[in-house]
Amino acid sequence: MDNRLAAAGTLRTIMRPPSRITEPESGNGSMRRYGVAVLAAVFALLLRHLLAPLLGDNDPFHTVWAAVVFSAWYCGFGPAIITTLVGVAGVWYWFLPPGHSFALEDPKAALSAMGGFLFFSGLIIALSEINRRSLAKLTLAEKQLTRAHEDLERKVEERTADLNMANESLRELSSRLQQMQDEERRRIARDLHDSVGQLLAALSMNIAVVQRQTDKLDAAGARAVSENVALIDQISSEIRTISHLLHPPLLDAAGLASALRWYVEGFSQRSRIKVDVQIPTRFGRLSDEMEIAVFRMVQECLTNIHRHSGAASAAIRVQQEDHRILVEVQDHGKGIPLDKQLELRSSGRTGVGFRGMRERLRQLGGTLEIRSDSAGTVVSAILPLTESTTTKAATLRAS
């Protein structure tokens, strides 16, 4: 009965996890674990011998339980069995009457005690082995999870690097496409002015010859000639306007300030929207890329104002301060709806016009901001002035 109570107490003890569990090793490590298990059994027997005056013949396996638990949890399955066998042999020889002999005074009681000890020792060893394997599986699962996490992080980093490279390539492609678009616009504008414009001028001179001889035509013929003259003048005016809108010649010849004033004047006449332009009188020249970027931004903003804002007036402010160019286009219309503003703040859902503006400014190191409420909309851009820009402006002013 005492053996069973001691075993039950030992079972409660082993349910608490050990502070450290050594993993099975090979070679010297395995021999060391077996050696420690034998020493634990010997130490338990010596301790039981020292406690003999206090315990007498009661519960001879009392200290051996601790050795079995220690070996089962800290030494492993095989060493725990060795501890159990050494403990049984030692208790049998030294502590079971008559003592110092393998003969037994009460074989039934002694064998019952040894059987109970072996049963509960086997249970302790089995539970510890199950727990050890569970911990080993858990440790393996944690290592696999850590390895999978590291692999996932590595793949995410690789994909992120690939995505950044793809985005950079896309930006370079977008920049190149915009440059090609500007060059194509300049070429088409030049062709319209030099080729189609010259043809219309020649046609106008021929019609003028015919018009001087309208007295030889009947009324219908004379009226047709007059209508052709008017049509040719209208076509010439529209082609000239289209040519200038594609690429204003003033932008190359006189600079941004003159090109903006010319464009705003024509826009106001066509749209009936009063636009106030505020540009310093001595505003210098900028790089070609910066001038075309600011011009296209103003052009896109005024187009949006005409199409969507319902405003009767607008204002454009361009100024230079602290080595920066500040551009602001403001209208007094109905503003941009909130859901549309959320889309504009999202880089993936921005409209084509605003996306083009942002991309142009980004390539030049600039930023674009849009603020809107029921009182109107303000589109602001900030562009840094680089050394090359300042050098070009100084060269142009000197010339």
pLDDT score for 351: 52
Interaxial angle between packed helices 107-191 and 62-74, expressed in degrees from 0 to 180 and rounded to the nearest 10:
20
Indicate the CATH number for domain 254-398: 3.30.565.10
Contact (CB, 8 A) for 301 and 309 = no
Q: Tell me how far apart the alpha carbons of residues 374 and 335 are, in angstroms, rounded to a whole number.
A: 5
Strands (E), the chain: 274-278, 313-321, 324-331, 367-373, 376-384
Question: What is the predicted pLDDT for the residue at 184?
Answer: 82
Asked if 61 contacts 6 with a C-beta cutoff of 8 angstroms, the reply is yes
Locate the domains of the chain by residue range.
2-150, 254-398
Residue labelled with tokens 């949006």:
304
| pLDDT at residue 285 is higher than 50 | yes
Angle at the Cα of 273 (from 269 to 278), degrees rounded to 5?
A: 95
Of 376, 338, 370, 334, whose CA–CA distance to 355 is shortest?
A: 370
Q: Which residues, 6+ apart, have CB-to-CB distance to 299 below 8 Å?
A: 245, 263
Residue 116 pLDDT exceeds 60? yes
CA distance 204 to 195: 14
What is the Cα–Cα distance from 245 to 262, expressed in whole angstroms? 10
With a cut of 70, say whether residue 279 has pLDDT above it: yes
Which helix (H) or strand (E) covers residue 302, if one does?
Answer: helix 288-304
Give the 3-state DSSP-derived string for 239-260, with helices as H, strands as E and coil as C. HHHHHHHHCCHHHHHCCHHHHH
Residue of 112, 111, 89 whose CA lies nearest to 100: 89
Average pLDDT over residues 68-81: 88
What confidence tens digit (pLDDT) does each residue in 171-180 have? 777 767 777 8
Determine the pLDDT at residue 318: 92
**pLDDT at position 347:** 52
pLDDT of residue 150 exceeding 90, the answer is yes
